[in-house]
A and B are shown apart, each in its own frame.
Chain A
Amino acid sequence: MAEKNIYDPSVDQLAKDAYFTASQGQLIWTRFKKQKAAMVGAWVLIFLILSGIFAPFLTPYDPTIAGRDKDYLNGAPTMPRFCDDNGCSLRPFIYAVERERSIQTNFRWVTTINTDERKYVQFFVQGSEYELFFMTFQTRLFGVDEGFIHLFGTDSTGKDIFSRTFHAINTSLAVGTIGVFIAFVLALVIGGISGFYGGWVDSFIQMVTDAVRTIPAIPLFMALAAFIPDTWSAEERFFFISIILGFIGWPTLARRVRTHLLTERNQEYVLAAQLCGASNGHVIGKHLLPSFTSYIIVDLVISFPYMVLSETALSFIGLGLKDPVNSLGVMLQNVTSADVLLNYQWYFIPVIFFIILVMAFVFVGDGLRDAADPYGDTKK
């Protein structure tokens, strides 16, 4: 029987065999890899996530009040340089800053840069203590032996914006993860029951879902913010906000889960399994869930930026997180004064990072969605 004939020498036999034995997941991964934008997005995302996790190590200072530089408020970024008028050096350095006030300056603190005094940037310095993975460390990636180095400048209380940015990425991702996780679990259960059983169960649950969906988020948060006791610690507040975001976010995901289930439930291979006497559990676990895993992953990845942006918006208007827990929203709370906009533009550097983060999520999500079309090459 002429089934396995390979005639064209240019088509690799191993490649064909790989194609035939590739599972759905492998096929999707192959298709995903072919999309450049998605791959770039994926690398950027991995980089940002890792920098968020390892933020305490990568940044020189504690992002809270404890790590502030009293002498350098609203300071411009100090970029390391290799050469200046006094010659070049292999080691990067920055200039020392001094703060003084006197009659000449009208008793205002003025910061001057002393271009003669160099502070060399050193790597793996011993900085302030921090906790990572339940262990305490002291080594930071870089720093200066004396004084401070502020790659992104400082804010009005002297906190290093560079350190704050990376910690903020971590916080936002953490809030996003918890929010997405809660939304996902709720969506799976509620959307799952709705889609699987159909009928009046479905109609009833859809009514409830629509009702929850119409709740306006901002007024709800304002109401909740009024109820959060001041005595709660920053961490408790943090979890509370994440949970609320999850509870607001589930209707959209639930509707998607339900749609996927309604379509898949009527597929013939599901009926084939039922005709073997398969229990509902078996059908759900072995056929339905895997069938929309690829869709759901896409939905999850795309939900992430919405969570991050929601949290940012809430914190920005003061209803979300507060100091010392910092996120982009918290950092942006102070940018609304004209003073900042005109003079201290470096406050906006973190915004660039967040734009990149959200775009990376979007590219990866789009790439996954394009790659995940399951019947793309199987229909005649």
Chain B
Amino acid sequence: MTDTPLITAQNLSVHYPLRGGLIGPKPYVGAVENVTIEIAAGSFFGLVGESGSGKTTLGRAMLRAAPITKGDVVFDDGEVAYSLKNLGKKDLKDYRKRAQLIFQDPYAALSPRMTVRDIIAEPLEVMGLTSSRAQTDARVREIAGKCRLNVEHLRRFPHAFSGGQRQRISIARALVSGPKFIVADESVAALDVSIQADVLNLLKAIQQEMGLTFLFISHDLSVVAHVCDHVAVMYLGRLVETAPTRALFSAPRHPYTKALLSAIPSLDPDDRGRAQKLEGEIPSPTNPPPGCKFQTRCPQAIERCLVEEPVLEAAGPEHKVACHRWEELFAQA
């Protein structure tokens, strides 16, 4: 791993305007608010959160597929350095070669009217990366082979394949342009458990082989624990905790992270009642509560949490928490 992070989100905010409000400030949804994360080259960075956390939006913003309202995203792979907020058209086209996305839904992400070969070849043709059909075919076959798709499969249409196979086609399409940075947005969520492990192993193998950097977005903490080396937890558009995987799972600092971890149903039938039940619902992003966003459900909220929003503080090597009380709670534990 090099010293310069491959991609950094700096105080990134993504706001979506809402209708109405002719007078006064325009209402908006703060999908992502003031998030700063650094992803080192070669890492498998996990981003977790529930609905409304903004994790998908953050991933898209880092690909310039969502508007950047405030802050910036900086990409530096040693060859080029881009500031995504002010990227010109030509640079944006180049960036698209270096950063790609794997979708969640294997059924909607592939055009039902194109053969697998054409689907995988499309980025090459659009970006003009190959100069002849033979070259395109060779590259397609090479990448397809890495994803365990053979020549027979290339002739077929998506409807011939299962969910796991389709996801591999999606992965092949993302890899074909030779990117350095891949955002995997809930890429295994729609797959059966026995297939999930297969696709995850494939992603890790590809990462090793091709030296890629992954941003792995998921709501499934167990999966993230196994494949990621660093994890960031989001709640209602804000970053609440970020730490190396082992540290996060063995000693979480933020009350939300603790609740998330304990809410995962344990495989031990005698371990019932352990789950720390969080009361209440996740607030709507259009109407966030004042102060700390988690205060409406936090069992450890105090007066200060209702008015003042906490900032990210260092809690250990590469470990940051956004909570007013993390130190005292950690000391108590």
Stretch at the interface among B68-76, B121-129, B301-309: B121-129
A24-B113, A268-B108, A269-B110 as given contacts; A277 in contact with B65, CB under 8 Å? no
The reply to whether A20 and B157 contact each other, CB–CB distance below 8 Å, is yes
CB of A136 closer than 8 Å to a CB of B: no
Q: Mark A310-322, 1 if CB is under 8 A from B, else 0.
A: 0000000000000
Could you tell me the distance in whole angstroms from the C-beta of B155 to the nearest C-beta in chain A? Answer: 5
Contacts of A378 in B (CB 8 A): 107, 112, 158-159
The reply to whether A379 and B112 contact each other, CB–CB distance below 8 Å, is no
Contacts of B43 in A (CB 8 A): none
The reply to whether B148 and A1 contact each other, CB–CB distance below 8 Å, is yes
Our pick among B92, B107, B109 for the contact of A272 (Cβ within 8 Å) is B109
The reply to whether A290 and B96 contact each other, CB–CB distance below 8 Å, is no
Our pick among A3, A22, A287 for the contact of B111 (Cβ within 8 Å) is A287
CB of A273 closer than 8 Å to a CB of B: yes
Chain B residues packing against A (C-beta within 8 Å): 63, 65, 92-93, 96-97, 100-101, 103, 105, 107-113, 115, 122-123, 126-127, 148, 152, 155-160, 163, 165, 170, 173, 177
Could you tell me the distance in whole angstroms from the C-beta of B31 to the nearest C-beta in chain A? Answer: 17
CB of A275 closer than 8 Å to a CB of B: yes
The reply to whether B156 and A21 contact each other, CB–CB distance below 8 Å, is yes
Our pick among B122, B155, B159 for the contact of A276 (Cβ within 8 Å) is B122
The reply to whether A275 and B101 contact each other, CB–CB distance below 8 Å, is yes
Q: Which of chain A's residues has its CB closest to B170's CB? A: A272
CB of A291 closer than 8 Å to a CB of B: yes
> Cα distance A77–B92 when bound, in Å?
76
A1-B148, A20-B156, A268-B105 as given contacts; A276 in contact with B111, CB under 8 Å? no
Q: Which of chain B's residues has its CB closest to A271's CB? A: B65
A267-B108, A268-B108 as given contacts; A21 in contact with B157, CB under 8 Å? yes
Could you tell me the distance in whole angstroms from the C-beta of A173 to the nearest C-beta in chain B? Answer: 30
The list of the 7 closest CB pairs from A to B, nearest first, reads A20-B160, A277-B96, A276-B123, A269-B111, A268-B108, A378-B159, A268-B109
Contacts of B127 in A (CB 8 A): 276-277
Q: Which of chain B's residues has its CB closest to A290's CB? A: B113
Could you tell me the distance in whole angstroms from the C-beta of B105 to the nearest C-beta in chain A? Answer: 6
> Cα distance A375–B93 when bound, in Å?
32
A267-B108, A277-B92, A287-B111 as given contacts; A272 in contact with B101, CB under 8 Å? yes
> Cα distance A379–B112 when bound, in Å?
11
Beyond known contacts A271-B65, A279-B126: 13 more, CB 8 A cutoff: A23-B115, A24-B112, A24-B113, A272-B101, A272-B109, A272-B173, A273-B122, A276-B123, A277-B92, A277-B126, A282-B126, A291-B113, A380-B107
> Cα distance A354–B113 when bound, in Å?
37
What are 15 A-to-B residue pairs whose CB atoms are below 8 Å?
A24-B113, A268-B103, A268-B105, A272-B103, A275-B65, A275-B101, A276-B123, A276-B127, A277-B93, A277-B126, A277-B127, A278-B126, A290-B113, A374-B112, A378-B159
Which residues of A, 334-380, contact B by the 8 Å Cβ criterion?
A: 374-375, 377-380
Our pick among B92, B109, B157 for the contact of A269 (Cβ within 8 Å) is B109
Contacts of B115 in A (CB 8 A): 21, 23
